[in-house]
Amino acid sequence: MMSHLYGRAVSFTCVAFVFAVGLLVAVATPVFAGPYEDALTGFTTDSFGDTDTAISGIAASGNPLAATVVEALRDGRLMFSAGGKTVFFKDKTEKLFDAATGQPAAVTPPDLAPVRLNNRLRRSVDAAIGGLTLLSPNSAIRLGAAQSVFRSRDATVLSVLDQAIAAEKEARIKRALTQARAAVILNQEDAKEADKIDAVAAIRERGDQDALQLLGSLPASSSATVKKAASDAIASMQSQLAIWTALQNTWYGLSLGSVLLLAAIGLAITFGVMGVINMAHGEMVMLGAYVTFIVQDLIRTHNPALFDYSLAMAIPLAFFITGAVGVGIERSVIRYLYGRPLETLLATWGISLILQQAIRTAFGPTNREVGSPSWMSGAFEVGQLTITYNRMWIIVFTFLVFIALLGLLRFTRMGLEMRAVTQNRQMAAAMGIKTARVDALTFGLGSGIAGIAGVALSQIDNVSPNLGQSYIIDSFMVVVFGGVGNLWGTLVGALSLGIANKFLEPFAGAVLAKIAILVIIILFIQKRPRGLFALKGRSVEA
Amino acid sequence: MTFPIIRTLDRGASIFLVLLAAFTIAVPVLNLLVPATSSLHVSTYLIALFGKYVCYALLALSIDLIWGYAGILSLGHGAFFALGGYAMGMYLMRQIGTRGVYADPIRPDFMVFLNWPELPVYWWGFQSFPYAMVMVFLAPGLLAFVFGWFAFRSRVTGVYLSIITQALTFALMLGFFRNNFGFGGNNGLTDFKDILGFNIQATGTRNALFVISCIALGLGFLICRFIVTSKFGKVLIAIRDAESRTRFLGYRVESYKLFVFTLSACMAGVAGALYVPQVGIINPGEFAPANSIEAVIWVAVGGRGTLTGAVLGALVVNYGKTYFTTGMLAPYWLFVLGGMFVLVTLFLPRGIIGTLQHGLQARKLRSAAAAAEAGADLEPDPALLTPAIAPARPTPASRPAPATRPAE
């Protein structure tokens, strides 16, 4: 009760002082002692109790030096002279300043000693810093401080909070501050009931998980009306939250699904056209990621200004390099194994082992650092959805690749030939299509797309020789689920697996969700052994 | 009018069994009776190593039975191996009793550590050796039966089946890595003390385990031989070479496949159960898809559809692995292994034994043809006319489309 009223009283004085005295203090020696100077003397008695009072006094004073002083105290840089009743702080370079004026100290008193702290005081110091940063000129820091007060619900900052709310101009931060204030009030035993009900309304507006948790854990002493208001707010928030959670899961699922699509689409093409399971597909993805690493490495050493374009450069490079590797594999190994899909599977597995080990020998087994260009880092919020730029661009990129592939298959001569070979190899050959050439190009195309996928995955995953291994089984599942010979099957397969995975995760945890998906696919393939979008008609017969 | 036993044991099989018997007797003799100073002495370390190889050979045999004779390429046979191993491991865990770190008479250490109040139901009974042995067969067998029943009934074949089996073992691996599955999580089951009252580290026990593994391998070989030489085995080969035709002839393809798949899983389980006491640990890493694929390459190297080839392949590849991974050459092992996958499928599609057999047959056929030309009306043995394995490189024109599943 007392502290609250005291805080209020001080805060009124403060507002006056901030403008009248506070600014003056910085430039001139004060002619009269204000609350800040009064509080400072508390440090000179070398008693923990007095120090505590001094900390809250300083925090509440609103003096522009307050933050500096409290931070100095936290770092053990705050000194006092018991004889002269004066307090000093050192800056990072050990230079001594007078804490009352902020000016460099003229003389160094002989009995200078650091102000001591114990654990209880450290908590007060942290709380005070939390409160003081509420007044920071930097809006991001103010917002962060408001969030941290919302979580800590520390009653001592209430006065500063009021002051900050009054001074705040940005609506977004003002809302955060108001919500923080509401959180503090709700946890105060002695706040007025009307204030508390207002607070519940303010928190209800916030409407996220934190707010829900806050209202769910009201102090037991709260009155019945407050509890009623809180439970009403919880009910309305929960239904809203459920929608947001579903949206969030869908977004994560889309993001995972697009990654799966990117990894699986090349596999689907080679499997669809050639009936070849390429176990080295994951390694093509890995090669693409390493191409990105090399490109960024070269840019860093030669022309750092181009860093933002590194991905744009890496994409065609990765496509052609992995595509060339793919054509090489097809010409040297796979073409001798047509008609023996199981042997192809083993041979490509062998190739994947060799590629992995080659990369491990060349680049070492550890993760390589691949940076994100500036336009891919950061996030923005839509309602309660947090959308990171890299995920968003990957989704966009995936759909661009998908559309490009659709166009390639639909409108180009090569696409026409590929479709013909997929549907009926012998007839296509009889019509004069060079099926061997189509096979090589298809394998190159599939591998090249895997390389592009590697560029995208390097942005969200660790670039290590094992990168491909973590995607290969999932990609197979997508192909098995979606069916071959139709890119739409791969699209639907990848997105539905991604979304199903993310919706199962909250109930079952990430690992169990994955197991559940695998079991579901094993069961699904009972019903449709050739996937969702199977080719129909005579063409499926061998 | 041939007796099954004669049909089962042709010359190659007899040679194999004699060699195996000699190996089974010689190794313990060289370990126990020859003094350690002699150059002929086989150390106890080598006994455990050989025992491990023999278990791998049994696993390879089980893969050859389904891949070489029924055309089912399972990339998840390591799962059955590991399940058998876990069943044995659970028995061995219960035998530790109060000698564990926490000295709990019932619960294994990891359960005490995780604060599990009591033994979960699926751990009940594992203190009894016979029960554990039943589970060694039952756990992999049941999984294979259920999985196979679903897969074969809906005619999932070829690469689809391979991928699904791979997903199966992957899912199991993820599951067993979790602590709350109750199988020791990441660390698996280890720190075993004794088996049937014998100290698991003792030289005598190691020799006994080695001999038992060899006997299991011999028995497994006999069972496989018996199956593949019987009429049942002929149907299996028919399924391998022309599944739809066999079905149209009126055979219930899925039942044949299901039986042989389940049997093969049980054999893999036994191999795993014998493997665990000899290496002293079983952990979820055994479920890794890479392990299962590696086991397939043993069979491919030795020669699929030959049984003896599977055993030979397992021994050769694993000896090579030990040789490579224990020396300076360790970083290059994966190159060798990967190269083996590629080169064997390209240049040695019949494997070592298969190529030898093929060569012998070709010579016999030539000499028979020469004899026939010389005027003698000797009829060539019809068995020699059937090639052991489908031709290596079909012409492009005969290349089937991706779809291998027949129409309905």
A292, A475, A476, B292 from B160: Cα distances, Å: 33, 13, 9, 16
What single-letter DSSP state applies at residue A18?
A: I
CA distance A448 to A319: 4
At A433 the pLDDT is 92
**Whole-number pLDDT of residue B376:** 54
Contact: A522, B147; criterion CB under 8 Å: yes
- Please, what is the average pLDDT of chain B? 87
pLDDT band at A261 (very low <50, low <70, confident <90, very high): very high
pLDDT band at residue A14 under the 50/70/90 scheme: very low
Q: Give residue-wise pLDDT tens across range B282-340.
A: 999 999 999 999 999 999 999 999 999 999 999 999 999 998 888 788 888 889 999 99
Put simply, the answer to whether B402 touches A484 (Cβ < 8 Å) is yes
Task: Work out the minimum CA distance from A354 to partner chain B, whole angstroms.
Answer: 5
Q: A residues 334-393 near B, CB within 8 Å?
A: 336-347, 349-354, 356-358, 360-361
Q: How far apart are the C-alpha atoms of A358 and A352, rounded to whole Å?
A: 10
Please give the DSSP secondary-structure letter assigned to residue A115. P
Q: Is the pLDDT of residue B344 over 80?
A: yes
CB contact under 8 A, A511 and B334: no
Q: What angle in degrees, to the nearest 10, is found between the helix axes of B351-373 and B308-325?
A: 140
Residue A12 has pLDDT above 60, yes or no: no
Secondary structure of B193-259 in HEC code, one letter for each residue: CEECCEECCCHHHHHHHHHHHHHHHHHHHHHHHHHHHCHHHHHHHHHHHCHHHHHHCCCCHHHHHHH
Which of A157-161, A189-193, B10-14 is the most confident on average?
A: B10-14
Question: d(Cα A264, Cα A489) in Å, to the nearest integer?
Answer: 11
Q: CA-CA distance, B58 to B402, in Å (whole number)?
A: 33
Q: Do B73 and A540 touch (CB under 8 A)?
A: no
Q: Kindly state whether A277 is in contact with chain B, defined as any CB-CB distance less than 8 angstroms.
A: yes
Report the largest interatomic distance among the alpha carbons of chain B, rounded to a whole angstrom: 85
pLDDT at B134 over 90: yes
More confident residue, A248 or A286: A286
The sign of the CA dihedral B195, B200, B205, B211 is positive
- Sorting pLDDT into bands at 50, 70 and 90, what band is B73? very high
Q: What is the mean pLDDT of chain A?
A: 81
Q: In the structure encoding, which two tokens stand for residue A304, read together?
A: 């750092």
- Picking from B345, B395, B404, B408 by the largest number of A CB atoms within 10 A of its own CB, the best residue to mutate is B345
pLDDT: is A216 or A504 the higher one?
A504
Give mean pLDDT, residues A124-137: 75
CA gap A494, A258 in Å, rounded: 7
What CATH architecture applies to the domain A245-541? Orthogonal Bundle (1.10)
Chain B residues touching A430 at Cβ < 8 A: none
Edge-to-edge strand ranges of the sheet holding A78-81: A96-98, A86-90, A78-81, A112-114
Closest CA to A447 of A256, A286, A350, A319: A319
Say what the pLDDT of residue B24 is. 93
- Report chain A's C-alpha Rg in angstroms: 33
Determine the Cα–Cα distance for residues B385 and A63; give it in Å rounded to an integer: 102
Residue B5 is predicted with a pLDDT of 62
Q: Do A541 and B407 touch (CB under 8 A)?
A: yes
Specify whether the CB–CB gap between A309 and A324 falls below 8 A. Answer: no
- Mapping DSSP to helix (H, G, I), strand (E, B) and coil, where does residue A385 land? strand
Whole-number pLDDT of residue B7: 66
Q: Cα angle at A468 between A466 and A474, to 5 degrees? A: 125
For residue B42, which amino acid is it? V
Contact B338 A361 (CB under 8 A): no
Q: Tell how many helices (H) and how many strands (E) occur in chain A.
A: 21, 6
**Shortest CA distance to A463 belongs to which of A264, A257, A259, A288?**
A288
pLDDT value, residue B82: 96
CA A354 – CA B13 distance, rounded (Å): 36
Rounded Cα distance between A61 and A52, Å, is: 14
Query: Are residues A337 and B345, on separate chains, in Cβ contact within 8 Å?
Result: yes
For residue A59, the model assigns a pLDDT of 73
Instruction: Report percent pLDDT > 90 for chain A.
Output: 21
Interchain contact, B342 vs A351, CB within 8 Å: yes
Confidence of residue A316 (pLDDT cuts 50, 70, 90): very high
Q: Which residue has the tokens 């006491």?
A: B277
CA proximity to A289, closest of A387, A374, A368, A178? A368
A542 touches chain B (CB under 8 A): yes
Is there a contact between A357 and B158 if contact means CB atoms under 8 Å apart?
no
Chain mean position to CA B119: 32
Rounded Cα distance between B86 and B132, Å, is 10
Among A14-28, A46-60, A445-459, name the one with the lowest average pLDDT. Answer: A14-28
Query: What's the rounded Cα separation, in Å, for the pair A245 and A383?
Result: 11
Average pLDDT over residues B192-196: 89
The region that residue B155 occupies, defined by phi over 0 for left and psi between -120 and 50 for alpha, beta otherwise, is left
Cross-chain Cβ contact A341/B159 below 8 Å: yes
DSSP track, A136-174: -SSHHHHHHHHHHHHHH--GGGHHHHHHHHHH---HHHH
Distances (CA, A) of A470 to A1, A283, B170: 59, 10, 11
Q: Are B87 and B135 in contact (CB under 8 A)?
A: yes
Chain A residues inside the 8 Å CB shell of B344: 346
Beta bridge partners of B281: B190
Among the partner-chain residues B160, B293, B398, the one whose CB lies closest to the CB of A529 is B160
Distance between CA A273 and CA A479 in Å, rounded?
13
Listed by number, the residues of chain A in 505-524 with a beta carbon closer than 8 Å to a beta carbon of chain B are: 511-512, 514-515, 518-519, 521-523
What residue ranges of chain A are covered by domains with CATH 1.10.3470?
245-541
The H-or-E segment that residue B58 falls in is helix B44-70
Three-state DSSP class for residue A366: coil
Q: Which of A237-241, A308-312, B75-79, B247-251 has the lowest mean pLDDT?
A: A237-241
Spatial separation of the C-alpha atoms in residues A244 and A247, rounded to whole Å: 5
Q: Are A311 and A455 in contact (CB under 8 A)?
A: yes
Per-residue pLDDT tens for A381-426?
777 778 888 889 999 999 999 999 999 989 999 999 988 888 888 8
**pLDDT reported for residue A294:** 93
Residue B399 confidence (pLDDT) above 60 = no
AA identity, residue A504:
L
**Quick check: A536 contacting B, CB < 8 Å?**
no
ipTM above 0.90, yes or no: no
Residue bearing the bigger pLDDT, A125 or A542: A125
Residues of B with Cβ-Cβ distance to A424 under 8 angstroms: 401
pLDDT value of residue B20: 94
Give how far Cα A377 sits from Cα of A371, A393, B380, Å.
9, 10, 76
Rounded to 5°, the CA angle A529-A530-A535 comes to 150
**A271, A515, A529: residue with CB nearest B174:** A515
Report the alpha-carbon angle B328-B332-B338, nearest 5: 155
pLDDT of residue A135: 74
- pTM for this entry: 0.75
How far apart CA A313 and CA A231 sit, in angstroms, is 55
**Average pLDDT of the residues in A124-128:** 77
| Token digits of residue B181 | 């599955």
Chain A residues 429-458 within an 8 A CB cutoff of chain B: 429, 435-436
Query: Considering only residues 467 to 496 of chain A, which have any Cβ-Cβ distance to chain B shorter than 8 Å?
Result: 473, 476-477, 480, 484-485
- Angle at which helices B289-302 and B158-177 cross, to 10°: 140
What own/partner pairs with CB < 8 Å and gap ≥ 24 does A524-529 have?
A524/A481, A525/A480, A525/A481, A525/B151, A525/B154, A525/B156, A525/B160, A525/B164, A526/B150, A526/B151, A526/B153, A526/B154, A526/B156, A527/B154, A528/A483, A529/B154, A529/B155, A529/B156, A529/B160, A529/B405
Quote the tokens at residue A372: 């994100």
Q: Collapsing DSSP states into helix, strand and coil, what is residue A79? A: strand
Mutate to test the interface with A, among B164, B244, B304, B321 (most CBs of A within 10 A): B164
Chain A partners within 8 Å of B167 (Cβ) = 473, 476-477, 518, 521-522
